[in-house]
Structure 1
Amino acid sequence: MADLKVIDSHFHVWDLETQSLPWLEGTDGSITRTYTFDDLEALYGKLPGVEFAGGVYVEVDCADPVAEDRIVYDLMARHGKIRAAMLRSTVSPSMRVPLHATGIREPLHIDSEPRGRCLEQSFVDGLRALAAAGMPFESCNRVSELEDAYEAFAQVPEETVILNHLGNVEALDEPWCAVMRKFASLPNLYVKVSGYPTSDRGFVSELLALVRETFGADRLLYASNWPVVEMYSSFEEHFGLLRDAFGDDEDFFMNNAVRAYGLTL
């Protein structure tokens, strides 16, 4: 049987010798080291029956995003399996957009982002500019502001939005379920299945069933969130649970990411 082809729609790498990531100081220390793309390839190489077809680099909330642009350019030149790069900018009609960026992420979930930022007119106008340029927006949100995010994205339904980590789900309560149903009504919104702890298997099973029912088979993306996944699960456990749930579904593990990011393999 042919190997399952996988596009990892959300990974990070960083070099703490050359980059400053202040947010790491507030973590438990388990991921406070350098991570390379070679490390990620090696992890996929250990998975039986899996062909790693590449992945999507997502900005790492570092102190110097312009320096990160240069670092990622060099990484992409060296590693052909880095298929796309979602780089950081402040979303507005005049935003900085590196030529090698596939799209933009403004991390809306971090402490320095004001509440309601995504409802500012400059942000909505920036989404329209991204849509006109055919560039997706990568959205990472506080769970308490998912309604705001829906309101913003609904104003620009033509923009491709990729919602990170199931909206940073904390509980399968009615407010979260309701806003997920609203997101599912947007024609160009995709959701990454990542970011949740795996210790409670009942929670995981219910979560995966809910998102499959809500979004269908063609708008869910496999994402490892490596190496951040190591703070609440492990790379191997997360992948194994998703393969158990989705089988060898190449739409989930590869094809949906190809469509969402406009990849050429």
Structure 2
Amino acid sequence: MKQFIIDAHFHIFDSNQFTVEWVKEVEILNRPILLSEFEDLRQGEGYEVIGGVHIELDTIPQQKKAENDYFTQLLKDRKDFVKAAILYANLLDPNMKDFIKDYVGIAGAAGVRHILHVPDAPPKTCLEPVFINNVKALGKMGLHFEACMRSTELLDLYELAVQCKDTLIVLNHMGLPDVSAQQDKTRKAEVDMWKEGIQQLGTLGNVVCKISGLSSADVEEIAPLVEWCIEHFGENRVMFDSNFPVCNINISFPAWTEAMIKIFENKPYRDLFFYQNAIEIYKMERHELPS
């Protein structure tokens, strides 16, 4: 039976319009990667991608508004496939609400992302008072916060989420655990911090987790990490995502998708993981999607 999928995290890197500095250093990504390329991957053996969620690109500062404008327009032009979009907002800006207000109420504009795993975001950035206040403001505006952060700092996110109970927080990429650390005894402390972070975040009803971001599609190697997230977040708070095209640095979209299908093939909640949870979390229009 064909598995329907909503990819809760993909990117378009249109280098003809937007500059993403870190992509310049990654040969496999340093070229125009458009929606058509992703759509070419929609049909695979045993699965069909029926929609996706576009995530902000981390463009250079002077292009942030143009990026948001571009992808909110894409929501209108390609609502047949792009079901939601996560925009950019600087959550350290006291005037964040003024920057994002024009996008509030646009169908499919679900939330914002402020990347926290980069060098200019030191530990505990998300616990700055202005950051906390802005995350609270997102909830009041009907938006959620997408958190992309280092695996050793997930307890910072826990503290943020406790203080922002009325804002949904979506953890990107399982909190970025390093697959290679799992069997390295010298990195046990790092692994333990990730595991504790997932465990604590899983106790909070306003936090959900995207399953992605791993550097391997070896089922035996990655299944324990995936299962740890499922154990602590539960079947209703985990979602499939590919992180296309960034996933291509290590693995292909088909390889990742097939690995996830293998891990979830005997689970009674596989449809929740592959598309139904995304429909709920991103408030998608149901009439265009399988029930």
TM-score (norm 1): 0.93
Task: Find the counterpart in structure 2 of residue 260 from structure 1.
Answer: 281
For residue 45 of structure 2, what is the aligned residue in structure 1? 48
Between 1:194-203 and 1:237-246, the stretch displaced more is 194-203
Measured in 2, the distance between the counterparts of 1:110 and 1:26 equals 15
Residue aligning to 1:116: 124
> Is the CA contact (8 Å cut-off) linking 1:5 and 1:53 kept in structure 2?
yes
* Matched residue, 1:145: 153
Say which SS state the counterpart of residue 224 (structure 1) adopts: coil
2:73 aligned residue: 74
Q: Which runs of no fewer than 5 residues in structure 2 stay unpaired?
A: 183-190, 287-291
Match for 1:90: what amino acid? N
Match of 1:217 among 235, 242, 246: 235
Q: For the Cα contact (< 8 Å) 2:199–2:232, is it kept in 1?
A: yes
Could you list the runs of 4 or more consecutive aligned residues of structure 1 that deviate by over 4 angstroms after TM superposition? Answer: none
Give the match for residue 23 of structure 2.
Answer: 24
Moved more, 139-148 or 171-180: 171-180
Q: Please state if 1:238 is matched with 2:259.
A: no
Q: Distance in 2 between matches of 1:19 and 1:5?
A: 31
Equivalent in 27, 30, 33 of residue 31 of structure 2: 33
Distance 1:146 1:262 in 2: 26
Stretches of structure 1 that go unaligned for 5 or more consecutive residues are none
CA contact (8 A) 1:93 1:129 kept: no
Q: Kindly provide the CA deviation profile for residues 92-143 of structure 1, in whole angstroms up to 9, marking residues without a partner as x.
A: 5631214133211011112232432101011111111111122111110022
Partner of 2:167, secondary structure, is coil
> TM-score when scaled to structure 2?
0.85
Deviation at 1:206, TM superposition (A): 1.4
1:94 equivalenced with 2:102 (yes/no): no
CA distance in 1 between counterparts of 2:94 and 2:4 reads 37
The alignment partner of 1:43 has SS state of coil
Asked if 1:127 corresponds to 2:135, the answer is: yes
Query: In structure 2, what is the Cα distance between the partners aligned to 1:52 and 1:209?
Result: 23
Aligned residues: 262
Q: Summarize the Cα distance change of 1:252–1:205 in structure 2 as closer, same or farther, 3 Å threshold.
A: same
Q: For 1:28-52, what per-residue CA distance to the aligned partner results, in whole angstroms no more than 9, with x for missing partners?
A: x11111111121111012x133232
Report the more deviating stretch, 70-79 or 127-136. 70-79
Could you say what secondary structure the match of 1:55 adopts?
A: strand
Which range moved further: 221-230 or 174-183?
174-183
Report deviation, 1:167.
0.2
Please report how far the alpha carbon of residue 73 of structure 1 lies from its aligned counterpart in structure 2 after TM superposition.
2.6
Q: Secondary structure at the match of 1:127?
A: helix
